[in-house]
Chain A
Amino acid sequence: MPNLYIRQVLQSAFVLLNVTIVVFVLIRIVPGDPVRLMLGMEASEDAIQAARAQFGYDRPLHEQYLRFVGGALRGDLGHSLRFRRPVGELLMETLPATLELAAAAVGIALVLAFPAGIYAAVHRGSVADRVLMGGALIGQAMPIFWLGIMLITLFSVKLGWLPTSGRGSLPQLVMPSVTLSTYVMALLARLTRSNMLEVLREPYVRTARAKGLREALVVHKHALKSAALPIVTVLGLQIGALLSGAVVTETVFNWPGIGTLALRAIQQRDYPVLQGVVLVSAVLFVVINGIVDLLYRFLDPRVRLA
């Protein structure tokens, strides 16, 4: 068992290492002189040389990389060109907002998708099934920025039930998290349904049903658990989609998370910030996936026994 954990940690660490290399390279291929970008138009040649030495841009590439990683481990991700503040600080301010949004979205998705998928599976072929799955299909195809705009127009402007944008109160969380949850919810609903269908086909379920109600109940609970297992992995895989979706959702609702930060950084050519966001989200992603992988291996009886 400990072997499993160690292997997982090593794997994740290796991926993380690669991530830092990619991010480092990413920023270096930006056209233009990063130091000049940082100091602005008015900087004198001396100031530029001094800054170059200070930030180590005159060092060989591998040294720069080591400085970058070393700094990152310490939490020093450079300074924002636009805000003149440490990137780490900006990330600390915005990351919780994104996590809040993502968590709420996942929560909503789970609460709604799971029962919906199960109901559709149990009542396969019925009108409800078709409607639910049709809705899921649309939910997966809908551009979330469109949905977000529509929701704001309907629920804020026309009906006045919810605030339009921003973060700080519970009502402000409702629309953004519902918008973000759409894709994952649709996906989970379909997945739950197909898993449930598979499980329901199993012989032991059929026999339990034939045997009577109480046994059927027990069996169904077991079936639910089996159907739930793949959900865990899927969720882990969908974190990426969730974070991607968060970028767009945050823009629509003016939600102050790392997505908005990243977009502004791109618009403002604020590369240190962009670098920081990509790095942090990748790290987050790898860590979460690692945990999910471990969880899965832990939960899946087949693998455990293997």
Chain B
Amino acid sequence: MSQHLRRLVVFVGLLTLGVLSGSPTTAWTQTGELTIAVATDPLTLDPRGSMNIISWSLAYHIADPLVGKDKDLKIVPLLAESWERPNPRTWRFKLRRGVKFHNGEEVTSQAVKATIDVMMDPELAKTKKVQVSSIIRGNFRLVERVETPDPYTVVIVTKTPYRPMLLGLTQLGIVPVSGLDAAEAYIAKPVGAGPYRFVEYVPGSRLVLEANDTYWGQKPRFKRVVVRIIPENATRVAALQTGEVMAIFNVPPDSIERLRANKDLEVRDTLTTRHNYLYLQNDRPPFNDKRVRLALNYALDKEQITKVIFRGLAKPSSAPMGPATAYFNKSLKPYPYDVAKAKVLLAEAGHPNGLKFVMGTPFGRFINDRQVAEAAVGQLAKAGFTVDLRVEEWGTSLANLLARKYDAFFGAYGGSTDPDYMLSWLFTAKSSVIGFNKPEVEALLLEGLHATDEASARKTYERAQQIVWEDAPMGFLYFQPEIVAFNKRLKGFGPRVDEYVDIRGASLE
């Protein structure tokens, strides 16, 4: 018996030691390591295949693009030391010399060309088995060719003048030539010329990076960065409170008060480029009737959503794109909340007893997405709309959105301060997932794309926004905030208007 007892005591003792040694405080007392938590799985760290902002921003730490965006969203030189635009269709970049990728290869114009070529050429992508992101590819749709007159000069020639070229380039980290020839190996271990090296990625669990000591630019402040993927809001918030992570993203507004009450933590927010709304199918019933669309807009109580659910951190939508995007039309006003008017319009449109439709929504992708969708359903019910809500995981919801499966979708679109990026996808007939077709708007968008001076660009885009707004092709809701919370010891960190996860400038004291 005593032998058993002894064994039990030892076991319990070891267990206690184990528990104590792994106690939360060690997470951030280890020198040089930073752990943060994000809500969405990046799915890939290959800069050419990134499909969401988490992915772009994390790949951004591994692979420097030609140019980047600082926290004020100004273009800064990265792998490209300088550039010029000798004529509206040509961009000429001078590359930094002596920069090496993590695998030792040198950064030359060949690598740049290989990276961009595969974005432009679907056949090449297929042959080389590279997964190319359709979103990033859109940035290069007007590129005609890439020239490499010498190892440190890259020339990009576009088919027509393309205003947002630089912005598009900020989304594409440059990948070594071996990343094209041996794509599968690359995907398993992405390599770039960024401040951090890829160590491991466990899908759904975490991404680990380590410092690149030979980085050409500002030396990375952390020896190791662990990005934990915690989709459940409560768990993510709890992880910050216990000190397991130093910073979290996608903070639910309901948790802000409690987090602020903790004197070790800080919560900051900013309005982003993201615009949240209900996609409506403009080319089929019931939403092909403008009166029905207007009725929907009048039935949505944006104030209630922004003031109560977002605790005042979101702003009711007043234009097809947000105030953080260039050439935002300030003169437009949000659709007022007017249930009576909505009912009248519905009756006029032939639905005096109300209208039933199917709406899809993702959950866990955007802050409060499911909650807002459900609240909207409740609001719409008061005006006579009966909504059959389908809550789906984001990937599925996205697939259904692209396939235009339901009458409506709750969703959001954002990520760039460029009006072309924000407007052309939805309001060009060819790519529109809402069946929007107004040649007038398309012409204006094209004009804006080619515009070479500020004044004409502004005029064009403001007019385009106005036409779209008055047509009410969607159920406009709000402009989304980005809310982050972090330990006060983390310096040089904050929410970004483009929602990037960015710790390149951060440090721990």
Contact = CB atoms under 8 A, between A and B. Distances in A.
Contact of B403 (A41, A93, A165): A41
B396 A164 contact: no
A83 B203 contact: yes
A165 B19 contact: no
B402 to A, nearest CB: 5
Contacts of B242: 156-157, 160, 163-164
B23 A171 contact: yes
B232 interface: yes
Given A174-B19, A260-B204, A268 B239 contact: no
Interface of B: 15, 18-19, 22-24, 27, 43-44, 131, 134, 187, 202-206, 228, 230-232, 234-235, 238-239, 241-244, 392-393, 395-396, 399, 402-403
A264 B349 CA distance: 42
B205 A171 contact: no
B235 A165 contact: yes
A295 B103 CA distance: 53
A256 B24 contact: no
B141 to A, nearest CB: 14
Contacts of B399: 40-41, 269
A162 interface: yes
A170 B18 contact: yes
Residue of A171, A174, A264 contacting most chain B CB atoms (<10 Å): A171
Nearest to B122: A42
B239 A171 contact: no
Contacts of B395: 82, 267-269
B413 to A, nearest CB: 17
B203 A267 contact: no
B211 to A, nearest CB: 21
A211 interface: no
26 contacts: A41-B399, A42-B134, A82-B395, A83-B43, A83-B203, A84-B131, A149-B234, A152-B238, A157-B238, A160-B243, A161-B23, A164-B242, A165-B239, A166-B205, A167-B205, A171-B18, A171-B22, A171-B23, A253-B235, A254-B230, A254-B231, A254-B232, A256-B204, A256-B205, A264-B393, A269-B399
A75 B56 CA distance: 33
A156 B239 CA distance: 8
A232 interface: no
B202 A268 contact: no
Given A84-B131, A156-B242, A264-B204, A166 B396 contact: no
Interface string A154-187: 0011001111111101111010000000000000
Nearest to B244: A163
Contacts of A149: 234
Nearest to A261: B204
Interface in A27-63: 40-42
Nearest to A159: B242
Interface string A257-287: 0001100100111000000000000000000
Contacts of A162: 19
Given A42-B134, A160-B242, 4 more contacts: A40-B399, A169-B22, A170-B22, A171-B19
A258 B204 CA distance: 11
Nearest to B129: A84
Contacts of B235: 152, 164-165, 253-254
Given A157-B241, A256-B204, A82 B22 contact: no
A197 interface: no
A269 B396 CA distance: 7
A242 to B, nearest CB: 21
B220 to A, nearest CB: 23
Contacts, number: 84
B22 A172 contact: yes
A72 interface: no
Contacts of A171: 18-19, 22-23
Interface in A61-105: 82-84, 90, 93
Contacts of B234: 149
Contacts of A261: 204
Nearest to B228: A166
Closest 6 CB pairs of A and B: A267-B393, A171-B22, A170-B18, A256-B205, A169-B22, A164-B238
Nearest to B241: A157
A161 B20 CA distance: 8
Nearest to A269: B396
B120 to A, nearest CB: 15
Contacts of B403: 41
Nearest to B11: A111
A265 B19 CA distance: 33
B202 A256 contact: yes
Interface in A105-163: 149, 152-153, 156-157, 160-163
Contacts of B187: 84
Contacts of B206: 166
B393 A170 contact: no
A130 to B, nearest CB: 26
Nearest to B395: A268
Nearest to A42: B134
A157 B262 CA distance: 12
Contacts of B239: 163-165
B400 to A, nearest CB: 10
Contacts of B205: 166-167, 254, 256
A161 to B, nearest CB: 7
Contacts of B396: 267-269
A244 to B, nearest CB: 20
B186 to A, nearest CB: 13
Contacts of A170: 15, 18-19, 22
A304 B230 CA distance: 52
A160 B264 CA distance: 15
A153 B232 CA distance: 14
Nearest to A167: B205
A138 B242 CA distance: 30
Nearest to A149: B234
Contacts of A167: 205
Contacts of B24: 160, 163
A171 B19 CA distance: 5
Contacts of B402: 41
Given A171-B18, A254-B232, A268 B23 contact: no
